[in-house]
Structure 1
Amino acid sequence: MSAPGSDLEAGGFLRHGGRLAAARGAFPDAPAPWLDLSTGVNPRPYPARRADRAALGRLPDPGEVAALEAAAAAAFGVSPDRVAATPGTEAALRALPRVLGARSAAIVSPTYGGHAEAWRLAGAKVSAVSWDEARASAAEAVVLVNPNNPDGARVQDPDAGDHWLIVDEAFVETAPDLSVAPRLFSSPVRTGEGGGNRSGRTIVLRSFGKFYGLPGVRLGFVIAEPGLAARIGAQFGDWPVGAEAIAAGLAAYPDHAWRERARLRLARDAARLDDLLRANGFEILGGTSLFRLAAAPDAPRRFTALARRGVLTRPFSDQSTWLRFGLPKPKDWPRLKAALEGSRR
C-alpha cells in the first residue's frame, strides 16, 4: 500500500481538482462511478437547451456573441459595452499579463494557483501576500479572488488604489452583493468620456460553469472599461465562444427565478455538508456554498481513504491538514456519509 503523500503527488491532485483519470489510475480498485467532490461546481446544473444542428454547422455570428454578452451584462448589473465573452475564466486570466504588460503581480493568498502561474509564465515577478499587503505593495498588478478559493474569504468593495486590480469573481453568484462590477461598470461610457481611475484600472472576471454547473461549455467573461474589455476580448479572435456556450448562456442568464432557487438550495446543502464533515472529525475553515474547506490532522490519510472508496476531494500542497469538498448530487449523500465514516478508521 502506498503512503498517502505519494498518492497525492503521483496523481497530481495537489495541482487542482477534477483529475478523475488520475484518480482511476491511482486507485484502480475504487468503486465506480467516482464521486468527484474535488471541484466547486453546482451538482444540479442549469437545464440549458443545447445548440441546434444549424448552429453547430456554422461559425457563431458576431450578433449572437453580442446578444450573449448583453444577457450576461444584465445578470451582472453592468453595461453591455463593458463585457467581453471568453472561452472560460481560465483562458481570460492567462491572457491578462500579456494584455496589461505589467511586470509584477501581488496575488492575495492562499488562492487559486492559476493566477500566479499565469503571471510567472509571462515573466512577471509574483508575490503571495495578504490583502492589506497587496494594497501597500510596489507590484503593478493586484489579483484578488472574491470570494476566495479555497477559504471563502471576502473583501467588501476592494480598492487597490493606483494598481491594476484584477478581481476574480468566479464564485460571486453565491454572494451577489459582494460583486464590485455593478458599482464600477453599471453605466455605459458616453462618447469622449473615459472611465474614472478606479474603474479604468479594474478588471473583473466572471465564470459561467461553476454556479450553473456546466463547466464543460467553457464560458467566462471579462468586465472592464470598453476599450480594455475589447483588447482582452480580441485575444480570443472573432469566435471567442462556441454555439453550445452561446445557447447555454442565452438561456441561463435571463432566468432569475432559477438563480434565486439555486442560491437557496446551495446554501442549505452547504450547511448540511458542514454538519456531516463535523460529525466525522473535520473542522470547517470556510468556503462558499459551492465548496467547503475543512481541516483534519490526518487529512492526507483521509484523502486516500476516501479515494479508495471512490470519493475524490481536493488536497493542498502548502496546507497538509486541509481538504476541500464540493457538494454531492442529491442521490450521493448516503454514499458520502458512508465514505466519511469509513475514512475515520
Structure 2
Amino acid sequence: MTGRIIHGGGITAAARQYGGRPEEWLDLSTGINPNPVPLPEIPVTAWHRLPDQHLQEQAREAARGYYRSGDILPLPVPGTQSVIQLLPRLVRSVGVAILSPTYGEYARAFTLAGLRVRQVSTIAELTADDGLVVAVNPNNPDGRMLSVEQLRDLHERQRRQGGILLVDEAFGDVEPAASIVPFAASMPNLIVFRSFGKFFGLAGLRLGFVIAEASIMSRFEDWLGPWAVSGPALSLAASLMESDTGAIRNRILQRHSALETVLRRSQLNVAGGTALFALVADDRAEGIYTHLCRHHILVRKFDYARNWLRFGLAPDEEADQRLAGALESDDFRSVRPKI
C-alpha cells in the first residue's frame, strides 16, 4: 500500500463529476462533528506573534485535564497525520503489525519507509517479531473496540519483548471511560494519539496530541521543529478543553441516533461504527454511492471492502430528511448489486 489514499471530504471532486456547487452538497463522507463548536475569543497576540511558550503550556495543561493524563503533559502537534509520518523514524527497522482493516495511512507510512508491515485482524495473530503494534480504538471504519484491560495486557506483552504499543484514540472523545490515557504514566513504551478536530468539529485547525513517555515526545518535538502548532490553535485548545463539553457529546449522540434511524428505515445494514459515523455493509454499495452522488450527497466508499459505505453525521433534521428522501426515492429501487 504505497499509492495515495482517497479519504473522505472530496466534495470538490464529487461536484465536478456529478454536478452542483460544492456548498450545495451534503457531505457525510467524514467522521467529523458536523456542528462546529462556537469559537471562543482568540487574543490578537496569538495571531500577531509566533507561539510563545506560555500558550503551549496552557494548551498542554488543558489537554492534561481533558484527557486525564496525570503526570504526562500531552504534546500538541499539527494534526496526528503529521506524527504518523514520523513513526518510521521512531521504530527504524522493527516489524510492524496493524490491527486491520483501519486507517490506511499507517500501513502506507511504514511501507514507504521500507518496514515490514503485517495487517492482522486479531490480537491472537501477533508474534514476537512485531516490534510495533498499532491499534485504532475505537476503530475506523468498523468501530471495533478493545477494552482497557485488553490494551493493558497487549501493552505488557509488548513491553516484555521490548516493543511499542501505539493506540490511536482519534474517535475516543465521546467515550472517555474507554481511553487508555489515564494509565499511560505507568506504561512505558505506550504511545497514544488523540485528535482535537473531530469531536469539536474543527478539523481545519489541524491539531492533535501525543501522550507518551517524555523521551518519545521529545523526539517527536525535535522532528517537528519550532512553532509546529499555531498560536490560534493553541489558544482555542486551551479554551475549549477547559469548557463543559457535555452538550457537545449529547448533540453528537443525538445526531448519531438520527442517522441510524434513517439508515435502518431504509433497510440498510448498520454493521458497525462510532458515535461520529455508521458503517453500512451492502452488496449494492457501489450503486448506493453513485445514487447518493446524483442526489449531491457524498459518503465514504472503500477500495478494500467494496460492500462497505461509511456515513458521517448529518448536521440537523433537515439534512436527515434530505438523506432519507434520497434513500426512499423511486430511482433508489433500481439500485442493484454490482456483478
Q: Assess, with a 3 A threshold, how the Cα gap between structure 1 residues 14 and 277 changes in structure 2: closer, same or farther.
A: farther
Counterpart-to-counterpart distance in 1, 2:321 and 2:192: 38
From 290, 297, 305, the equivalent of 1:311 is 297
CA distance in 1, matches of 2:255, 2:4: 25
- TM-score, normalised to structure 1, is 0.88
TM-score normalised over the length of structure 2:
0.89
What RMSD, in angstroms, separates the aligned Cα atoms of the two structures?
1.9
Whole-angstrom distance in 1 between the partners of 2:67 and 2:99:
24
What is the CA distance between 1:220 and its match in structure 2? 0.3
- Shift of the 80–310 alpha-carbon distance from structure 1 to 2, 3 Å rule, reads farther
- For the pair 1:129 / 2:120, whether they are aligned, the reply is yes
Using the TM superposition, give the Cα deviation of residue 313 of structure 1 relative to its aligned residue in structure 2, in angstroms.
0.2
Deviations 1:225-253 (A, max 9, x none): 11211211222112120022112101110
Q: Are the counterparts in 2 of residues 51 and 243 from structure 1 also a CA contact under 8 Å?
A: no
1:213 correspondence with 2:204: no
Percent identity (aligned): 38
TM-aligned CA deviation for residue 15 of structure 1: 2.1
**Counterparts of 1:325 and 1:68, CA distance in 2:** 32
1:55 deviation in Å? 2.0
Contact 1:13–1:315 (Cα < 8 Å) also in 2: no
Q: Please, which runs of 5 or more residues in structure 1 have no aligned partner?
A: 1-11, 186-195
Aligned length: 320
Query: Relative to structure 2, which stretch is displaced further, 30-39 or 282-291?
Result: 30-39
Q: State whether residues 63 and 73 of structure 2, in contact with CA within 8 Å, keep that contact through their aligned partners in structure 1.
A: no
Tell me the CA shift for residue 314 of structure 1. 0.3
User: Helix, strand or coil: the match of 1:227?
Assistant: helix
Per-residue displacement from partner, 1:132-176 (whole Å, max 9, x unpaired)? 245435221000000000011000121241231010000010211
Please state if 1:332 is matched with 2:332. Answer: no
Structure 2: how far apart are the matches of 1:37 and 1:164?
35
Q: Return 45-54 or 146-155, whichever deviates more.
A: 45-54
Contact 1:207 1:221 survives alignment (8 Å): yes
Q: Which runs of 5+ in 2 are unaligned?
A: 334-339
Structure 1 counterpart of 2:315, which letter? Answer: K
**Runs of 4+ off more than 6 Å:** none
Q: How does 1:44-83 map to 2 (within 5 A)?
A: 44-79=35-70, 81-83=72-74
2:46–2:235 contact (8 Å) kept in structure 1 = no
What does the per-residue CA deviation read over 1:40-91, in whole Å, with 9 as the maximum and x for residues that have no partner? 0001112122534332122110221121111111100013644211000111
Quick check: 127-136 or 222-231, which moved more?
A: 127-136
Q: Which residue of 2 aligns with 1:276?
A: 262
2:98 maps to 107
Which secondary structure state, in structure 2, belongs to the residue aligned with residue 116 of structure 1? helix
The alignment status of 1:165 with 2:165, answered yes or no, reads: yes
Quick one: distance in 2 between partners of 1:308 and 1:80? 52
